[in-house]
């Protein structure tokens, strides 16, 4: 999706919400500058959690904004110098697909299926959480990983692998997302232009 199309979509949703832009920015916990960038379609640097907050403020399902965002990342991604031999591909959500329901405080394991699409084996790589914690009235409203950084098993070219992350759901009902990217041991991104693996769930009360 072109940035103009995304801008038109967000502005249409803003108009339908009946709220002014300042109110929506505050409701989404964004500065007015950041919110106005989204209104102009500048999503290249936006985080998944930001779009979740904006969709909640607008009262629309998160996927309404996430689908064009992820499409944008796919259309603009390119192979970096280090990715000429190292490459990755997402296959499926093995557990907890988008909008799966979990309960407040629940511990659960998210599993992704991925494939080594490069010509070199994956060695010494990690999957690292890219989130910033969020709180409301002293309570976490973020997905909390048990471990922030996990080792990716060695995977030969052409092979598939299952990668699992354990999460604890927040204590308040919400729709929440956590994004993860492959890194080297020092935290440098392996595939900086690839879209992240992410876990998005609906948290409800028991």
Q: How far apart are CA 65 and CA 119, in angstroms?
A: 34
- Under CATH, which architecture does the 3-76 domain have? Orthogonal Bundle (1.10)
Cβ atoms of 149 and 185 closer than 8 Å: no
Q: How far apart are CA 206 and CA 58, in angstroms?
A: 26
Q: Where are the alpha helices (DSSP H) in 3-141?
A: 3-17, 21-27, 32-39, 48-58, 63-76
Fold match between 3-76 and 81-204? Answer: no
Closest CA to 124 of 190, 192, 198, 193: 190
Q: Hey, what CATH topology would domain 81-204 get? A: Immunoglobulin-like (2.60.40)
Predicted confidence (pLDDT) per residue in 132-179, tens digit: 877 777 777 789 999 999 999 999 999 999 999 999 999 989 899 999
Question: Model's pTM, two decimal places?
Answer: 0.64
Predicted confidence (pLDDT) per residue in 116-137, tens digit: 998 999 999 999 999 887 777 7
């Amino acid at each position: 999706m072109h940035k103009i199309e995304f801008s038109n979509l967000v502005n249409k949703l803003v108009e339908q919400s009946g709220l002014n832009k300042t109110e929506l920015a505050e409701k989404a916990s964004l500065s007015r500058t950041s919110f106005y960038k989204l209104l102009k379609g500048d999503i290249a640097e936006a985080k998944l959690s930001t779009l979740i907050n904006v969709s909640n403020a607008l009262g629309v399902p998160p996927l309404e904004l996430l689908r064009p965002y992820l499409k944008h990342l796919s259309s603009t991604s390119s192979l970096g110098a280090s990715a000429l031999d190292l490459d990755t591909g997402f296959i499926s959500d093995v557990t907890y697909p988008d909008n799966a329901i979990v309960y407040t405080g629940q511990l659960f394991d998210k599993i992704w299926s991925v494939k080594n699409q490069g010509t070199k084996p994956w060695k010494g790589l990690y999957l690292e959480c890219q989130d910033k914690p969020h709180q409301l009235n002293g309570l976490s409203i973020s997905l909390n990983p048990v471990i922030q950084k996990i080792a990716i098993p060695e995977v030969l070219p052409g092979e598939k692998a299952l990668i699992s992350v354990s999460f604890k759901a927040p204590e308040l009902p919400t729709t929440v997302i956590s994004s993860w990217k492959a890194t080297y041991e020092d935290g440098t991104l392996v595939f900086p232009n690839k879209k992240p693996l992410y876990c998005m769930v609906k948290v409800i009360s028991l």
